[in-house]
């Protein structure tokens, strides 16, 4: 694995991000990802961070924040995290999560939330090692397509 830096995603990164998303079972075209990145770029409390060399993407994380109503302050959510399968287990994911937490602290967030499919046992273990607690027994997660 070549040396990489953490940086904010650019529209020109859309093809590489699409490749990463496909590895998690979310196939997307370059144009679709470019359009989604425009959503993220226009939101002041949203960012997509990449682990990238000059010519290769190793991973990305998307994080955004929202204000609490029931508490003073904000909370952040890791919307997605993907590390290229070829470099998993080499610390890229941990660096991306730490970078997202730094951003969240800068936004004055009180906490960070992340959800993970139960089919991804490795991801659950990864988040536990990163200090995240399983809290699904305390609340439910509900979803409705619109």
Strand, coil or helix: what is 8?
A: strand
- Its CATH architecture, for the domain 5-129, is 3-Layer(aba) Sandwich (3.40)
Whether residue 48 contacts residue 37, with contact meaning beta carbons closer than 8 Å, is answered with yes
Please state the domain extents for the chain: 5-129
Kindly give, in sequence order, each residue whose CB lies less than 8 Å from that of residue 111, ignoring residues fewer than 6 positions away.
Answer: 75, 76
Mind listing the pLDDT tens digit for each residue in 4-27? Answer: 999 999 999 999 999 999 999 999
Q: So what's the pLDDT on residue 4?
A: 93
Mind listing the pLDDT tens digit for each residue in 73-109? Answer: 899 999 999 999 999 999 999 999 999 999 999 999 9
* 131 pLDDT more than 70: yes
Q: So what's the pLDDT on residue 99?
A: 98
Spatial separation of the C-alpha atoms in residues 52 and 117, rounded to whole Å: 26
Phi, psi of 106 (to 5 degrees): -65, -30
């Amino acid at each position: 694995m070549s040396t990489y830096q953490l940086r904010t995603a650019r529209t020109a990164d859309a093809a590489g991000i699409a490749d990463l998303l496909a590895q998690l079972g979310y196939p997307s075209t370059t144009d679709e990802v470019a359009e989604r990145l425009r959503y993220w770029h226009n939101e002041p409390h949203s960012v997509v961070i990449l682990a990238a060399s000059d010519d290769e993407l190793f991973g990305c994380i998307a994080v955004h924040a929202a204000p609490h109503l029931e508490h003073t302050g904000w909370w952040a959510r890791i919307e997605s995290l993907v590390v290229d399968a070829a470099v998993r287990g080499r610390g890229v994911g941990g660096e991306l999560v730490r970078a997202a937490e730094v951003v969240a602290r800068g936004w004055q967030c009180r906490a960070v939330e992340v959800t993970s499919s139960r089919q991804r046992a490795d991801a659950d273990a990864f988040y536990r090692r990163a200090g995240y607690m399983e809290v699904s027994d305390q609340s439910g997660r509900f979803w409705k397509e619109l």
